[in-house]
């Protein structure tokens, strides 16, 4: 749609886009309305199309398809408003790969709202490596991090010296991007600790995200009871980690009480092995 209502007047997308490009106004800080249904609309900037307005969905229960579509458009529009060359849905490698938001032919933002297997993730990640494009994954509601991290979420983790291990979440219905950074995992369980910074999903928010430099926070674990209880549960249930540690304890003639207490208090990087497993293996090797 190429027109919208602003302050009870009809405005054209091309004229609004010109004011944004000239720095007269910020992108989508005005509240545009649809001339037909009077619901909110947003201005979309595109390199290969005339600027246009699109309905802004802010409805509870909106499905993953609409979440994915709106997230891509809002992210791409915010990047363009910062003078960055970005495109939505770009086919690569003879259509073997489709980038959600391709930036300067060097970086791809992959917006993942639906389920994704580790095999499919690795396949897409390797294709990006083949063409020297860095893939950054931003997840929708289904994959939001809470107090624990599972294997299906770990694939979306990325590392930078500035943010350490981090995780990006997008909420297109509230127009937000969340950065969860300095992610650390408990000694034996899947419990995690992290810092959070939220940015508006607009021109200024995306610029702030790129420039954000946090003050590193030191996390501490004050109680080992939960970690010991978790380990005991894994041993009883004979889980994968329980079988590994159980075998090492048996070979060393150790009990849980023989494991140094400080190891239960140690936080690890998300993809590192448990310090308890490392300790026991080293003892056995020695």
Phi, then psi, of 52 in degrees rounded to 5: -150, 165
Would you mind telling me the total number of residues written for the chain in this entry?
A: 286
pLDDT score of 59: 45
Edge to edge, the sheet with strand 3-6 lists 9-12, 3-6, 32-33, 40-44, 52-55
Q: Across residues 214-241, what is the average pLDDT?
A: 85
The counts of H helices and E strands in the chain are 9, 13
For 48-80, the pLDDT digits (tens) are 678 888 877 654 445 678 899 889 988 998 898
Give the whole-angstrom CA distance, residue 150 versus residue 15: 47
- Exposed (0-12), middle (13-18) or buried (19+): which is 77, by Cβ within 10 Å? buried
* pLDDT classification of 223: cutoffs 50, 70, 90: confident
Given this model, what pLDDT does residue 160 score?
94
* Residue 123: predicted pLDDT: 93
Using one digit for the tens of pLDDT, what is the confidence trace for 78-122? 898 888 889 988 999 888 899 999 999 899 999 999 999 999 999
The answer, yes or no, to whether residue 241 has pLDDT greater than 50, is yes
Give tens-digit pLDDT for 153-190: 999 999 999 999 999 999 988 889 999 999 999 999 99
| Mean pLDDT (whole number) for 223-248 | 91
């Amino acid at each position: 749609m190429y027109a919208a209502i602003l302050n009870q007047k009809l405005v054209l997308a091309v004229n609004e886009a010109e004011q944004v490009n000239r720095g007269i106004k910020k992108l989508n800080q005005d509240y545009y309305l649809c001339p037909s249904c009077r619901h909110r609309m947003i201005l979309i900037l595109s390199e290969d199309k005339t600027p246009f307005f699109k309905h802004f969905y802010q409805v509870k229960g909106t499905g993953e398809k609409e979440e994915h579509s709106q997230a891509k458009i809002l992210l791409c529009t915010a990047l363009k408003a910062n003078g960055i060359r970005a495109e939505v849905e770009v086919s690569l490698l003879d259509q073997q790969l489709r980038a959600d938001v391709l930036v300067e032919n060097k970086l791809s933002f992959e917006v993942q709202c639906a389920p994704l297997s580790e095999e499919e993730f690795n396949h897409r990640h390797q294709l990006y490596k083949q063409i020297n494009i860095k893939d950054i994954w931003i997840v929708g509601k289904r994959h939001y991090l809470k107090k624990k991290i599972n294997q299906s979420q770990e694939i979306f983790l990325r590392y930078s010296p500035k943010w350490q291990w981090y995780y990006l979440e997008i909420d297109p219905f509230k127009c937000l991007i969340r950065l969860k950074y300095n992610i650390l995992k408990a000694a034996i369980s899947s419990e995690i600790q992290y810092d959070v910074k939220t940015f508006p999903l607009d021109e200024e928010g995306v610029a702030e995200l790129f420039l954000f430099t946090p003050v590193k926070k030191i996390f501490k674990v004050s109680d080992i009871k939960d970690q010991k209880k978790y380990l005991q549960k894994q041993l009883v249930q004979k889980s994968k980690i329980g079988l590994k540690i159980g075998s090492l304890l048996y070979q060393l003639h150790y009990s849980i009480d023989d494991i140094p207490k400080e190891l239960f208090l140690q936080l690890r990087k998300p993809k590192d092995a448990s310090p308890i497993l490392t300790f026991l293996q080293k003892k056995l090797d020695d």
